[in-house]
Structure 1
């Protein structure tokens, strides 16, 4: 897809020269929501400034609703989106500021250069699906997805105006069931009077892709009554979309019943990996051309695939490996509950006087911190943190001083970090969106091995001990694999069974043997248990929503697994698959990380969230311990448990490129 430059017209008579602190340089375009100007921030950075039409109700309540909606939009991860930077609705000229992308709207690109095909069309679909998955992961519904809200630049597509339609709707006090957006890109449920939902966005995304492939929407662009009638009653026209996986995906996304459509994250998985994995392992082709378009999606999307992203993420008695229920420990890495006897509780579990007090803050990362772990290195308590630039740092938990050498990988997006003892040396294990598992020496920063047996992203890693040696468990859209961390060689075959791949994995001990627990994508909705030694499935799959975070522990001697689902956490008895108690609630935004630990002899669960907090839960009773741990100024993307001078601390990876700690005892 060749580069196109944004068309900038001079300001017209009557256009304001300034909006707040932003100097206006030219006119980028106009739409149903307002006029978009090229602006200059006080820092000199070029930005896009949208002057909204005077539709905002002139009262404080309406302005506050608008501010909250725009603030939610600002939390969307910057995966193929144009993030909102600022907004002001306090005066007669309300405006929203976003990053400036030197690109052209998709509708103009198709109109001037014709429909897209082949790799161009596939890359557009993957990039915009990535953006939509990130938008939905933040709890935002776009409500107006259409070609003019997709900017095509030299480095890929960007989705704009997410959440702004909702903000305007809220501020002008219209009903939530009103039909928003453009008629040709409206879903059947919206036409029938239901509110827009993520499924509505998926419907509009599919129509947009049909437009990109054919030059016209899937249900035509004649009179509004005719178009709405076709959306409700006739199948889409996909005759000009090439036969193949993308066409089949668009058919699924254009189902009349929103419950039958895949989510944006599932659509992305089907674009970049196998939609339905075979029962027997078979080599899959590498997604070469698409990688550049989705390398920054995760997490997340671990994403990632939600993700994602992905995105996705991750971390027991004191190590990252332990948080995944790993049975590997050693003389250097902190022991984990899976291989260390649980101490006898010294009394009732309660928050002590230092609980929640802030500890160290590490500020040497240059981009958002995606994963954290803890270990012992050179007789010091250390944390290992990775950021989205592919940099891994080791630093002293007590003083924040860096230790050893930095470690870099080629992937821009890093999934999860584990710590093991390998031949007496503390060693890091990292999964990433470069389809690889990296193993490196924490002290020297030297690579030990790289496992490249995956054919798609590695969204989750864990560690299990087999025949007296540590073995890496890694999972993603292409299934779950075992590998030798010393050599990087695969052990056995591929564990397949989830439709759409694996979002997260953890290891535990069940009836005296090590097992691997895997969570499929949301539409798969299953939790599976595998014998780690034989790689065969044990018992039936549990019907549970897909979770990007799994962590194992033990309660009263019975193995349990904790899993997140948006803002809630469910703790399951691994023997029966039944919840121990009602879902844990309290976070005000999606849960992004989980870690298990032992506090005063009692099992506890740590959870991080996009609500900028970490919470600690009594794992036996399912109740919150103490107050939420605050102080972070951005999303807390991951959490781990470590120790400083023998006392437990929580470690949070924050999107603002910092790592924070809190004392727990």
Structure 2
């Protein structure tokens, strides 16, 4: 699940194991148009970005392909992007040298970078993970674009997208698969927030590669989803878990903000809109939209 803005309206894009991609207007709470179809396997990864001034969705599937959709025209952009040998379980978008890119992670343990203008793979795969890559986020460290990836091996890797080299050693501390990651700048410091099957949420200083404070604890089952945003100007992380709760964390104090939000099914995805106006939660087969205030 990912959020964006189309024609000035906040939207959420969701993918499902029924092979479809749906777009939702968060102002009205209604589905926009017909489902985007074409994937031949379940859609397990969604991101949004901007290409040539147009908002696009990038979706990854169990068939190993990545699709790009123009959310204004609701049409597929170009041919599917092919290169992975396994399920694509993670997608993020970013900018490198002024070029819009997508970064994808797969069960084949590789990370691929795609030029969204040409639809071509950029360079060789980024390899080194010893388990499937199920989490990807992008950010900037020291003025250089980076990707942060989490894997079944329990490690978090940081990649320089300009040099296509690993930055430092893998970030270790989780005891199980890292299936969720998001980035943010807090007090001028670029950080990553990761969620794991060990039930913990960790915060990392991407400049030093070290953990920031103690793990954020409270979830009683695996943490499937992480998103970052702001409330009243304060940076937050939002985490969702198989325990059916969503927790909001103040990234300045590292404390939970308010009580956990409880849902009747495992929380599979969370997303915060670009202007922090909506929090979207996917649980079971349903989606809820909330105000982060």
| Cα shift at 1:495 | 0.8
The answer to whether the 8 A contact 1:420-1:426 is kept is: yes
1:472 and 2:57 aligned: yes
Structure 1 or 2: larger strand share? 2
1:429 and 2:10 aligned: no
Residue 540 of structure 1, aligned match among 124, 130, 146: 124
Matches within 5 A, 1:291-306: none
Residue 507 of structure 1, aligned match among 73, 93, 100: 93
| Cα shift at 1:590 | 1.9
In structure 2, C-alpha distance between the alignment counterparts of 1:612 and 1:520, rounded to whole Å: 22
Corresponding residue of 1:647: 234
C-alpha spacing 1:510/1:497, structure 2 compared with 1 (3 Å): same
1:575 and 2:162 aligned: yes
**Which segment is superposed worse, 463-472 or 493-502?**
493-502
1:660 and 2:247 aligned: yes
Residue 632 of structure 1, aligned match among 219, 241, 244: 219
Corresponding residue of 1:529: 113
TM, length-normalised to structure 2: 0.80
- Runs (4+) of structure 1 exceeding 3 A deviation are none
C-alpha spacing 1:612/1:502, structure 2 compared with 1 (3 Å): closer
Corresponding residue of 1:553: 139
The runs of 5 or more residues in structure 2 that have no matched partner are 253-293
| Cα shift at 1:542 | 2.6
Corresponding residue of 1:616: 203
In structure 1, C-alpha distance between the alignment counterparts of 2:162 and 2:173, rounded to whole Å: 27
Structure 1 or 2: larger helix share? 1
Residue 82 of structure 2, aligned match among 486, 496, 519: 496
Other structure's SS at 1:543 match: coil
Q: Deviations over 1:286-307 (max 9, x none)?
A: xxxxxxxxxxxxxxxxxxxxxx
TM, length-normalised to structure 1: 0.36
In structure 1, C-alpha distance between the alignment counterparts of 2:173 and 2:110, rounded to whole Å: 25
Matches within 5 A, 1:287-436: 417-436=1-20
The answer to whether the 8 A contact 1:504-1:550 is kept is: yes
Corresponding residue of 2:45: 460
Q: Deviations over 1:583-620 (max 9, x none)?
A: 11111222221000110121100001222221110011
C-alpha spacing 1:609/1:543, structure 2 compared with 1 (3 Å): closer
The answer to whether the 8 A contact 1:596-1:606 is kept is: yes
The answer to whether the 8 A contact 1:527-1:544 is kept is: no
C-alpha spacing 1:487/1:541, structure 2 compared with 1 (3 Å): same
Other structure's SS at 2:111 match: strand
Q: Highest Rg: 1 or 2?
A: 1
In structure 1, C-alpha distance between the alignment counterparts of 2:224 and 2:101, rounded to whole Å: 27
Other structure's SS at 2:133 match: coil
Q: Deviations over 1:197-255 (max 9, x none)?
A: xxxxxxxxxxxxxxxxxxxxxxxxxxxxxxxxxxxxxxxxxxxxxxxxxxxxxxxxxxx
In structure 2, C-alpha distance between the alignment counterparts of 1:454 and 1:494, rounded to whole Å: 9
The runs of 5 or more residues in structure 1 that have no matched partner are 1-416
Corresponding residue of 2:172: 585
The answer to whether the 8 A contact 2:42-2:62 is kept is: yes
CA RMSD in angstroms comes to: 1.5
In structure 1, C-alpha distance between the alignment counterparts of 2:30 and 2:77, rounded to whole Å: 23
C-alpha spacing 1:633/1:500, structure 2 compared with 1 (3 Å): closer
Corresponding residue of 1:518: 104
